[in-house]
Structures are given as C-alpha cells and as structure tokens.
Amino acid sequence: MRTIVLWDIDNTLLYTGGAGSLGMARAFRDLYGVDDAFRRVEFSGRTDTAIFTDAALAHGIAADAIPAELPRFIDAYVDHLRATLSETAGGRVMPGVIELLGALARRDDVRQGLGTGNFRRGGELKVRYYALDAYFQPFEGGFGEDSEDRATVIARGIERLHDGDSAGARIVVIGDTPPRRRAAYRR
C-alpha cells in the first residue's frame, strides 16, 4: 500500500523566527501604505490567502478586488521574504525533522509532499532556505493559494500526489494545526 505524507511547513518542518509575518507586513505596507496591517489577523492554522483576505478587507480593499490583488501581494511578499528569512533570529529546522524526512525518502512505498497554508512560492523559498528542498522534489502538494480553507488545501495536495486512484493509499498529514481543524482532513 502506498503512503502519501503531506507536511505542513511553519512550526512543523521549520520555524522562521517570524520571517513570514514580517514579509507579509512589509509587502502590505509597500502595496497599500498600511503599517502593521496584520496586527489583528490570526495566522495560526490558516492559509496565506485567508490571512491576506482578512487584512485586505480590514483595510478597505473591496472583496471583489481581492482576486486581482492576490498575485500582486504574492509577488511583493516573496520579494520581502527573501530578505526577512536572513534578518529574523531563531529560525531553524524543527527537531527530528531531517531524520524523519530521510527515513521516509528511503522508502519506495512513501511519497512526500506539502500540505501547507503557505503560498507555493513562499513555501518553496522557506523549504529551500532551510535546505529541506531535496526531500520535496518535485515541489508538490497543496498550497495557500489553492483555497482559504485548509481542508481544501490538503485535498488538493492529495490529488496532486496520488498518481491516479488514491482509494488504496494511506494518507498521513503532519502538522501543528489544532485537532478540531485536522478532523476535516480525514478521507
């Protein structure tokens, strides 16, 4: 039986020391002139699309304009994330992650990918910065721009990694999202 393992990125594979939220704040400031735009926006367990949407609505961006603004925001965010990854202190790969990624990579019956709320390009940058990219080639899974809903992100990741019929596959999702949210991922 094939096993598909989907990994979350932040606080599961690695900790960036706040580089992602700082990069988002700088991108929002540059595009919309609002400092600290995410001050009252919850990040934990949410997709980057949902986080951006909350901040955009809170600062007067019309709901119907958000789909057109999202690609602009992602571009600005990724540019800032490149810098903030090296600026923030305390970033690291989480304990035991490299050993587990390596053990799973050696198994022929396991395929690893990502099931993360990060925008794809931001997630790829984080994984590469912390030298975990070799375990995720090709870079596949479910990502923050797939949906505001985390369960939909996981479903898209499963679809992308299953190589056909996933009915017989075992699906494992590894992340730090609270259990009340993880229940929605069961298939």
The predicted-structure confidence for 10-68, as pLDDT tens digits, reads as follows 999 999 999 999 999 999 999 999 999 999 999 988 999 999 999 999 999 999 999 99
Residues 101 and 81 in one domain: no
Give the count of domains, the chain.
2
72 beta partners: none
Residues 41 and 126 in one domain: no
Q: Which segments of 40-149 does DSSP mark as H helices, in order? A: 48-58, 66-87, 97-105, 120-129
Residues 68 and 160 in one domain: no
Is the pTM of the predicted complex or chain greater than 0.85? yes
Above 60 in pLDDT, residue 166? Answer: no
CATH at residue 152? 3.40.50.1000
Residues 127 and 165 in one domain: yes
Above 60 in pLDDT, residue 152? Answer: yes
Residues 56 and 75 in one domain: yes
pLDDT, position 162: 84
Does residue 178 have a cis bond before it (omega within 30 degrees)?
A: no
Which residue, chain included where needed, has tokens 């096993």?
3
Residues 10 and 101 in one domain: yes
The answer to whether the beta carbons of residues 160 and 142 sit under 8 Å apart is yes
Residues 175 and 104 in one domain: yes
Q: What is the mean pLDDT of residues 145-161?
A: 94
pLDDT, position 167: 66
Which residue, chain included where needed, has tokens 């070799």?
134
Mean pLDDT of the chain: 92
pLDDT, position 123: 98
Rg of the Cα trace of the chain? Answer: 17
142 beta partners: 115
Question: Which of 132, 145, 25 shows the shortest CA–CA distance to 83?
Answer: 25
Phi first, then psi: give them for residue 98, nearest 5 degrees.
-60, -40
Question: Which of 21, 24, 9, 144 shows the shortest CA–CA distance to 77?
Answer: 24
What is the per-residue DSSP string for 119-168? Answer: -HHHHHHHHHHTT-GGGGSS--EE-GGG-SSHHHHHHHHHHHHSSS--TT
CATH at residue 80? 1.10.150
Full domain range(s) for residue 64: 19-87
138, amino acid identity: P
- Give the domain-ending residue among 51, 66, 87: 87
Tokens of 143: 């990502």
Residues 66 and 107 in one domain: no
